[in-house]
Amino acid sequence: MLTYILRRLPQTILVIFGVTLITFIALQIGGDPTYLFVSERASAEEIIATRIKLGFDKPLHVQYLNYLLNLIKLDFGDSLYFRQSAMTVILEALPATIELTLFSMCIAVFGAIPFGIFAAINRGKWIDGTLMAIAMLGQSIPSFWLGIMSILYLSLNISWLPISGHVPFLMPILRGDFLEGIKNFPTTCLYLILPSFAVAFYSLSRNARLVRSSMLEVLSQDYVRTARAKGLSEYSVIMKHAMRNAWLPVVTIIGLEFGFMLSGVVVVEVVFAWPGLGRTVFDAIANRDIPLVQASVVVIAILVILINLITDIIYAKLDPRIRLS
């Protein structure tokens, strides 16, 4: 396992390097970035002084090297809109996004398993067709539209769930106040239901179809037939023999799900006024806050890359054949 991890690390570092290069080039494509840091009425002398102060007068390769060195120190510069360190803004918004993403992933993964298994063991019956029709419908509905409809019907019309708001759970824990975090958890979950369902519904539908097809393939294998021939109950056959191998495709897609959901939460956070990183990025783009956009892209990319690495390690643990490839 250690050899597998060490073999993957250079690839991970290379991808992170590529992300930093792309974000740096994106800043240069828009022209002289100095004008982002000065007012519209700035004089020529002020523009030149700002360009020298920020290092934009140096060759591009020197600027990129300085950019990398600052990233290593977690120095992303100052946000033009929030008027404070971009890293501080990200760290304040990131816990809320992680809460939303993890809750959505739990719905998408653990909700899809019984959904897909139930459809597989009832293959060809009306319940199978109904569940798969719902899954196909779920893959065709945009998350922002689902979020708006859920607010309209579940919040405004029948007042079952709150329209918007956020009670922090992770932030108090990260600050060392475990009691407050635990006390906030039920209320946090209440506010998470609508936005996380809007984020997760597409993935839940897709994963349910994946679990169904994987389970059908596993149930047709010889070792499953042998288990049934030995007189084992259908529950034992499914839970003890078929489930482990049916899990493998789901585990593979979890890493991709994390990146997909991080991209999906941007719109959903705006719809539900969720104070997370997605809404922060939206505000940064709207206000041309390039340093904060750059920092957010790099942080999100690193998170996705690390999650994919962890997912591959778990997959290799579940399927030893991967270690040899």
Mean pLDDT, residues 217-222 taken together:
78
Report the C-alpha gap between 181 and 33 in whole angstroms.
41
User: Residue 295 CB: number of other CB atoms within 10 A?
Assistant: 26
Strands (E), the chain: none
Predicted pLDDT at 319: 62
Report the C-alpha gap between 155 and 144 in whole angstroms.
15
The pair of structure tokens assigned to 135 is 């899954």
How far apart, in Å, are the Cα atoms of 168 and each of 161, 189, 317?
Answer: 17, 10, 34
Q: What is the pLDDT of residues 156-189, one digit of tens each?
A: 777 778 887 788 888 888 888 888 888 888 888 8
Q: What is the pLDDT of residues 72-125, one digit of tens each?
A: 888 888 887 888 888 888 988 889 988 898 888 888 888 888 888 888 888 888
Report the C-alpha gap between 276 and 98 in whole angstroms.
8
For the chain, list the domains and their CATH numbers.
93-324 (1.10.3720.10)
CA-nearest of 84, 65, 91, 70 to 175 is: 91
Amino acid identity, position 198: A
pTM over the 0.75 mark: yes
Report the C-alpha gap between 190 and 92 in whole angstroms.
21
Mean pLDDT, residues 146-156 taken together:
83
